[in-house]
Amino acid sequence: MKLSKGTAIAIVVAFSAVALWFGFGGTPEATSVNATSSRASTPEVTPHVAVAPGLIEPLNEEREVAAEANGILREVRVEENDEVTAGEVIAIVNNAEQAARLDSARAELALRRAELDKTVNGARPEQRREAQAALSEAHAGLDYARREYDRRAPLVKSGVSPKAVLDKAASDLDVAKARAAAAAEKLAAIEAGSRSEDIAAAQAHVDLAKANVALASALLDKTLIRSPISGIVLRRMRLGGESVSATPPTPIAIVGNINGLQVRAEVDETDAARVKVGQRVEILADAFPGKKFRGTVYRVASRMGAKQIQTGRPADKLDAKILQAFIHLDPNVRAPIGLRVDAYFLTPAPPLGERPLAKQRMSHERTEASVAGSR
């Protein structure tokens, strides 16, 4: 029996429909349920102008705390999820040598300060009284030598005493004069105090000692690894006993403040002009099916850059240029740091003066009808 061309086509279509039916294994009701379930798990997104992948971060971004000194970690004082405050010591590098250098520098400073005080204050009162007594003794010796010379001179002139006796008296007088002059100079030096150049030299020694203390203190402080911000420890990367270095810096921990969250989104260069500061954004994440987060764009980068967030999707373009947009999530949002999300940049509502003409006419007609009714 020969079939017409139309009949053959109808049979092929019928068989194809049956094959598709049993191939997908479902009834119309089952297919409808699956579609409904899929829509329920993925919330409907508000009309948007751009979509970009992103990562959830602390609002003030993460801080990688690294070592500033070479050595062995003596201790790490924090665990992951511990709260820390700005300036708190979270780890210490072995610093016995640095502590000893600081003690030595402080001792040197104390010595130099004492020398400066001695130079500025001059001689002690006891030294001044001693110098005055020595001068008085020298004057007394000078008076005795002068009287002895005056007594010997006539005797020698009259021939009673030999000339050698007068020569000795003259020599004793000269020695007494020299002693009196030396004692007077010593007392004058004590009374005058220190010279300005001596004081300046002593002050310079003090300043140098202060600088050495500051240097030793800075070297010791580098062994104390502090948190730069208040927040929590998101990740601890080293333990006590491990070696660290300053070049390159060895990371010790990552700290962030999760009281506020943001999304760092990478907007494709083709959508860069559609993202503005103040624009509202809806955030979807595979880890939170059926849930939407919301936020506001508060900063948009001024420079295009290379893509850094890898979504793993087949359509992901690794060589694309992107523009980073920073989205401040609403205060009630709670999500893990580093979670990959999709950011939907919503269509901004047009200002009142820029509404479509048809909507403006409709609004105007409603206003006129309201006025007519009131009459």
Question: 178-234 pLDDT, tens per residue?
Answer: 888 888 877 676 666 667 888 899 999 999 999 999 999 999 999 999 999 999 999
Strands 231-236 and 243-244: unpaired
Same domain? For 119 and 163 the reply is yes
Residue 50: CB atoms within 10 A of its CB come to 21
Read off the pTM.
Answer: 0.56
**Terminal-residue alpha carbon distance, the chain:** 83
What distance in Å separates the CA atoms of residue 9 and residue 91, rounded to the nearest whole number?
80
| Tokens read off for 322 | 């992107």
Q: Which residues contact 287 (CB under 8 A, 6 or more apart)?
A: 335, 336, 339
One-letter amino acid at 372 equals A
- Please report the pLDDT score of residue 202 as a whole number: 92
Same domain? For 112 and 161 the reply is yes
What distance in Å separates the CA atoms of residue 184 and residue 9, rounded to the nearest whole number?
140
Same domain? For 142 and 235 the reply is no
Q: What CATH number does residue 239 fall under?
A: 2.40.50.100
Q: Is 137 part of any domain?
A: yes
Q: Which residues contact 359 (CB under 8 A, 6 or more apart)?
A: none
Tell me which residue of 286, 288, 291 sits closest to 43, measured CA to CA: 291
Same domain? For 112 and 197 the reply is yes
- Please report the pLDDT score of residue 62 as a whole number: 84
Same domain? For 124 and 190 the reply is yes
Q: Is 156 part of any domain?
A: yes
What distance in Å separates the CA atoms of residue 336 and residue 349, rounded to the nearest whole number?
31
Same domain? For 248 and 191 the reply is no
Q: Is 23 part of any domain?
A: no
What distance in Å separates the CA atoms of residue 237 and residue 250, rounded to the nearest whole number?
9
Same domain? For 149 and 181 the reply is yes
- Please report the pLDDT score of residue 257 as a whole number: 85
- Please report the pLDDT score of residue 223 as a whole number: 95
Query: Which ranges of the chain have pLDDT less than 50?
Result: 1-3, 12-15, 17-41, 352, 354-364, 366-375
CA torsion sign, 194 to 197 to 198 to 199? positive
**What is the span of the domain harbouring residue 174?**
101-217
Q: Is 163 part of any domain?
A: yes
What distance in Å separates the CA atoms of residue 348 and residue 46, rounded to the nearest whole number?
11
Q: Residue 71 CA to chain centroid, in angstroms? A: 21
One-letter amino acid at 146 equals R
- Please report the pLDDT score of residue 40 as a whole number: 39
- Please report the pLDDT score of residue 250 as a whole number: 93
- Please report the pLDDT score of residue 358 as a whole number: 43
pLDDT in tens, 158-192: 877 787 877 888 888 888 888 888 888 776 766 66
CA angle 194, 197, 203 (to 5 degrees): 90
Torsion of CA 26, 30, 36, 41, to 10 degrees: -70
Same domain? For 81 and 140 the reply is no
* Gyration radius of the chain's alpha carbons: 48
Q: Is 14 part of any domain?
A: no
Question: Phi and psi of 264, rounded to 5°?
Answer: -95, 105
Same domain? For 182 and 280 the reply is no
